[in-house]
Structure 1
Amino acid sequence: MKGFLQKAKAELRGKTQRDTIGFPGRHFGNGHSQGQYYDPPDEQFVCSDSENVQAQTIHDPTPLDILRYRYHHATNLGSIYVIERWLQPSRFPDGAEGSSELAAVKAWVDRIGIEATKQKFEEDWTNALSEDDIQWLVDEAKCTTIRLPIGYFDLPGAEFTQDTPFEPYARVYEGAWNNIRTLISRLRAHSIGVLLDLHALPGGANAQEHSGTNSGRAEFWNSSSNRDLGVRCCQFLAEDATTGSEIAGIQLVNEALWEAEGMYEWYDECIDAISDIDASIPIFISDGWNFRKAIDYTLQKNSVNVDQPTSPVVIDTHYYWAFTDDDKKKSPQQVIWEVHTKLAELDGKEGSVLDRGAVQVIVGEYSCVLTEDSWAKSGGTPKEELVEQFGEAQSKRYQQRAGGSFFWTYKMDWMPGGEWGFTAQSDAGNIVPPPYTQLSLEERGWFVEKARDEKDRRMRKAVQQHVTYWRRVDPHGSYEFEKYQHGWNVGFQDALAFFEGRATQGDKIGMLEIWVLKRVRESGYRGALTWQFEHGLRKGIQDLYAAVEI
């Protein structure tokens, strides 16, 4: 490999030098890595829109930017800070009634007392993820991000449990948040980001046990005190993030009830509260099982044309084929085909944040589980083969259309977890990381050098094609083609920074739509010709990926 790389580098340098001879250039003054612009023949720029330029705030992507905006090849941590009995029956004493966090803490306190329960829970949290576990996530699974389910009762201070079912057990949770902060730091040291997921809200955002209790009711939405406490939880997480925890984002709620009353009004409150503290933190919302409605809402929130921009908003949607009567009727082959249709609601919604706003989606939960009824319809094809096809289809589809995918789940008592297990499915090769994650450091370094050598040639070609097209379509139009060239350079350099890694493993801009939104906002352009910058930005990103062959 070493000899091949050296030979390829020499050939590349020679070709690049031949391509660049004889092209005089000039520089544009300010901005992010604008580089050299080569005038297309006989073209003059018309600056009719210049009075609409505001202060530009574009800087090179930081490691935290990459942590937040790369493609999240990810997993949920599982039943650690919000207990679910089916995943971790060992967290319950013998004879305990119920299957939720509340049931577990109550049973232990009744049996061994509050101080011993506090010690036990703290030991369980601390031992949940070993250094070997983290190293496996990085080296084998190529995991970039953990979605970390937490409950409101895990936050510090009596005010978070006061007047809730967890108030009698507040002492048990006094060390929970420090434990979570330590876990975030441990993961960050290995370039794994953490999406803090408020899985359990007071009263329950849905009727399931993962809301923290076995009440069987979703009492969050119709209680003003619960909703107010939910906003305060979000404020605390945002304020804590400003102290250096470097999180990937905050998820307001997990699997909100279908058509929950006032859900989007509550989202507005939380988004405003977090944005007032730090408008750079990505905010993740549940689609409430109504994906189209969430898309329409997000497009409005992620707009360029607002006086006071708020945090970027990302939709969390979940895909399972193991719970409904309709799912049971499908064969594995039908399910695998259906995977390729998911996220089609995004068609026509992406590609122009200036016209429509930005819509960004993650698949916050998925698995390789099907019902026994479905497996019985396999037609004789071995189950192992169909699980592989199912996992590969999901990996490919979500990498094509989403900003990340988070397998459910990583940790359970019955490791490696079968079709529910990130470990089992990753080790089997059924959950497939993006191909570029398999590059060695030497291979990545060679592609980085190749991209840098090709940059000027690709930039000239892109700008010349752009200018030629618009002069042909509208020869008398007024344009500011330097905005396109500026955007191209920003996009190319941004994508290269993500690919290099900058204190991360090296990745792709997966959260592309909200990254474009961020860059357009930072560009300072607000006039009618700002589309030139956005088009150039997207083309520069595309050309970098062509250069590094991803």
Structure 2
Amino acid sequence: MTFFRAIKNKFEHNQTPNFDSTEEVTINMDKRAIYRNRTNYGVNIGSLFVLESWIYDDIFNEVGGGNTELDAVSNCQAKLNTQETANKLRQHYESYLDKIDWNFLRDRANITSIRVPIGYWHVNNGGFLQGLPFEHLAGVYQNARPWDYLKQLINVAGQNNISVLIDLHGLPGGANDQAHSGAINNPPKFFKTPAYVNKVCDEILPFITRDICSPFENIAGLQIVNETYFDNNANDIKAYYSRAISSISNIDNTLAVVISDGWWSEQWSNWLAENKLESNAVIDTHVYRCFSNEDKGKDAGTIINQLPGSVNLPKDKADFTVGEFSCVLDEETWKRTQGDRNVHISNFGVMQTTIFPKVASFGWYFWTLQFKYGDGGEWGFVPMVSKNNLILRSRNVVPIDQNRVNQIINDHIEYWKGKGNKFEHWRFEDAIRQAVNDIASFNQFNNSRLGRWRSWTLRRRAEYIKAKGDSEFMWEWDQGYQKGLDEFNH
């Protein structure tokens, strides 16, 4: 696959990457390109690999105990042995995978993608654990074979035209202090521990990229961290992001590298722009309205009405994804709320999934797919889809009206008449026709929508300059391509 492959990185792994958008690019519009660049309507495969006891409690309640995967598997190994513990994990992987209803996901939910949280301890079946907190469990994961099950999952997803976002959810030392990191680290230590950062950037991420992301055409991207803690300066986090993006992009420069917004989206959209990394990275933001004291102090209607203003992502600066959200509101909110709870839940889900595709070019992923017991209620994708509480992807391909395209071109020319002595209106026309062709190509593959607007436009722009030269009138190209997206990318 040669899609954008010609861009070459010229920096060492410990430097901040700085990509020149005028370097040679070649866009090969194929299935892999669409998987990597479309707007996603997806769901998280929570607690398949990174175990969370409230979702699947197999290892926790039956033998292991503890609050994290590290505790539960360690306890299980101590009480049983390495092989029996591995067998428990394999049984979990197999039962979880067997329960996935691909017909529902493909035909009823009409999803494009799944986000799969993994831990560093799963990579290559525990092959990179030397010197890391899970090291004593290497034999367990070697025998449990989670990496093999992940590849099986990717294959089946591909058979259903569904992509996979690989999410390195658990980092050694933790990117936050929550149990979903595989171990509780308070304070989190990953970003301030050079040995951990080196291991991830120099060994783990390159392996994932070479072993899974490049070989499988239906990989949407590689997420290098889940939820980063808020940091006003974030120097250590920036250093990790720089190295990780470099490490991955040196191998596969078309792969979306997904970073966390650390609960401050603009901090990271500005950082990407300053370092010319918008073409390489997508920013993950999580939208929950059930955890903060501020949200707990509001009624459901207020939260819903404020969503358009509160989910205000700087989409013109960077590409975003809503990697996690749900239809859950806290009980304190419900105590303040009058009216039918089910109606409010539906309004909440519908509002969220109406807003997200407008501001998050890489789309959204609901948390989460399934539970060992029950359907998860407002945390569960299946019941929320079944009750029509989410706006799903349309199955109707809207044909592009070429008469409307021609009208827009004529309107542009007419507008600028008499406002200057020289223009290059042909650049506007070239751009809008290119946008229309791109949109149509995405639509032809399972009615996909062109996503990663910032990255895609920058790369198309660089390609155009290479073909037809730069100019002081490239603003006309910029306006034309953006007009095409605004008008027809629905």
Question: Normalised by the size of structure 2, how large is the TM-score?
Answer: 0.88
Determine helix, strand or coil for the equivalent of 1:142.
coil
> CA separation in 1, counterparts of 2:228 and 2:219?
22
Structure 1 spans left out of the alignment, 5+ residues: 1-52, 304-309, 351-357
Work out which of the residue numbers 40, 44, 53 in structure 2 matches 1:76. 44
Q: CA deviation at 1:398?
A: 0.8
> CA separation in 1, counterparts of 2:23 and 2:360?
32
Work out which of the residue numbers 241, 263, 267 in structure 1 matches 2:241. 267
Is the contact between residue 254 and residue 286 of structure 1 (CA under 8 Å) also seen in structure 2?
A: yes
> CA separation in 1, counterparts of 2:386 and 2:206?
39
Cα deviation, 1:216-251, whole Å, max 9, x if unaligned, reads 431111110011122132222222222235310011
Is the contact between residue 170 and residue 180 of structure 2 (CA under 8 Å) also seen in structure 1?
A: yes
Identity %: 29
Letter in 2 for 1:464: N
Work out which of the residue numbers 386, 395, 401 in structure 1 matches 2:344. 386
Structure 2 spans left out of the alignment, 5+ residues: 1-21
Is the contact between residue 205 and residue 244 of structure 2 (CA under 8 Å) also seen in structure 1?
A: yes
Determine helix, strand or coil for the equivalent of 1:196.
strand
Cα deviation, 1:162-209, whole Å, max 9, x if unaligned, reads 112211111222222122112111101111111111100011111111
Work out which of the residue numbers 508, 529, 532 in structure 1 matches 2:449. 508
Q: CA deviation at 1:158?
A: 5.7
Determine helix, strand or coil for the equivalent of 1:243.
coil
Correspondence list, 1:62-461, <5 A: 62-94=30-62, 96-130=64-98, 133-156=101-124, 160-174=128-142, 175-231=145-201, 232-240=203-211, 241-259=213-231, 260-302=234-276, 312-346=280-314, 350=316, 358-379=317-338, 381-403=339-361, 404-434=363-393, 436-437=394-395, 439=396, 444=397, 447-448=398-399, 451=400, 454-455=401-402, 457-461=403-407
Is the contact between residue 151 and residue 199 of structure 1 (CA under 8 Å) also seen in structure 2?
A: yes
Q: CA deviation at 1:65?
A: 1.8
Cα deviation, 1:420-458, whole Å, max 9, x if unaligned, reads 111111111111213x23x3xxxx4xx54xx3xx42x34
Correspondence list, 1:466-505, <5 A: 466-474=412-420, 476-477=421-422, 479-501=423-445, 505=446
Letter in 1 for 2:180: H
Letter in 2 for 1:515: W
Q: 4+ runs of 1 displaced by more than 4 Å?
A: 53-56
Is the contact between residue 181 and residue 245 of structure 1 (CA under 8 Å) also seen in structure 2?
A: no
Determine helix, strand or coil for the equivalent of 2:97.
coil
Determine helix, strand or coil for the equivalent of 1:365.
strand
- Bigger shift: 116-125 or 261-270? 116-125
> CA separation in 2, counterparts of 1:527 and 1:238?
37
Letter in 2 for 1:508: R
Determine helix, strand or coil for the equivalent of 1:162.
coil
> CA separation in 2, counterparts of 1:271 and 1:411?
32
> CA separation in 1, counterparts of 2:324 and 2:306?
17
> CA separation in 2, counterparts of 1:134 and 1:294?
35
Cα deviation, 1:241-277, whole Å, max 9, x if unaligned, reads 2223531001110111211551011101111111111
Letter in 2 for 1:137: L
Q: Residues 196 and 56 from structure 1, CA distance in 2 versus in 1: closer, same or farther, beyond 3 angstroms?
A: closer
Q: Which residue of 2 aligns with 1:462?
A: 408
Letter in 2 for 1:412: F
> CA separation in 1, counterparts of 2:405 and 2:263?
43
Letter in 2 for 1:101: E
Q: CA deviation at 1:471?
A: 2.9
Q: Which residue of 1 aligns with 2:474?
A: 530
> CA separation in 2, counterparts of 1:167 and 1:180?
21
Is the contact between residue 185 and residue 245 of structure 1 (CA under 8 Å) also seen in structure 2?
A: no
Cα deviation, 1:92-128, whole Å, max 9, x if unaligned, reads 2446332211122112212331112212212322332
Is the contact between residue 32 and residue 217 of structure 2 (CA under 8 Å) also seen in structure 1?
A: no
Determine helix, strand or coil for the equivalent of 1:99.
coil
Q: CA deviation at 1:485?
A: 1.9
Q: Which residue of 2 aligns with 1:18?
A: none
Q: Residues 157 and 394 from structure 1, CA distance in 2 versus in 1: closer, same or farther, beyond 3 angstroms?
A: closer
User: How many residues in Structure 1 have an aligned counterpart in Structure 2?
Assistant: 460
> CA separation in 2, counterparts of 1:271 and 1:211?
21
Is the contact between residue 206 and residue 257 of structure 1 (CA under 8 Å) also seen in structure 2?
A: yes
Is the contact between residue 265 and residue 285 of structure 2 (CA under 8 Å) also seen in structure 1?
A: yes
Q: Which residue of 2 aligns with 1:45?
A: none
Q: Residues 128 and 518 from structure 1, CA distance in 2 versus in 1: closer, same or farther, beyond 3 angstroms?
A: farther
Q: Residues 266 and 56 from structure 1, CA distance in 2 versus in 1: closer, same or farther, beyond 3 angstroms?
A: closer
Alignment RMSD (CA, Å): 2.2
Q: Residues 95 and 176 from structure 1, CA distance in 2 versus in 1: closer, same or farther, beyond 3 angstroms?
A: closer
Q: Residues 198 and 540 from structure 1, CA distance in 2 versus in 1: closer, same or farther, beyond 3 angstroms?
A: same
> CA separation in 2, counterparts of 1:97 and 1:216?
20
Q: Report which of the two structures shows the higher radius of gyration computed on alpha carbons.
A: 1
